Amino acid sequence: MKLLLVDDELEFVSTLAERLSFRGIDVDWVTEPEAAVVKAEAGCYDLAVLDVKMPRIGGIELKRRLQKICPSMKFIFLTGHGSQDAYMTGSAEAGSDYYLLKPLRLEDLLAKISVIQAKAQKGNQND
């Protein structure tokens, strides 16, 4: 699985990318939403993990842009704005995608990635 990680917090995104890569996940990361679009144009990803609140382009809008480039890409959204209301609003905006709160537990993210991988493998078996 090829993963794109997008968050405007440099220390968070670089550390998370390193931890995922130690677990055998092929991960690229960027801190600018525009750079995520450029990366996707260079080659599609299976999954993008997007921060909901970023300068200029938020995660929900970035999802729309990335889906135009890579229609089969799946998404997980992250937010540090962790009230219950924010969670419910974010989940509604994210639709069928996954939505996780910061501070992020790596185990929670890995569990969501595993679910997405299993669904993708099941879908490939039905082809």
pLDDT beneath 70, residues of the chain: 81-96, 124-127
Q: What angle do CA 118, 77, 20 make, to 5 degrees?
A: 60
pLDDT at 101: 85
Query: Taking the domains of the chain in order of start, what are their residue ranges?
Result: 2-125
Task: Determine the pLDDT at residue 120.
Answer: 84
Of the CATH numbers 2.60.40.10, 3.40.50.2300, 3.30.1180.20, 3.40.190.10, which one belongs to the domain with range 2-125? 3.40.50.2300
Residues in contact with 107: Cβ distance below 8 Å, sequence separation at least 6, in sequence order? none
Q: Report how far apart the first and last C-alpha atoms of the chain are (Å, whole number).
A: 18
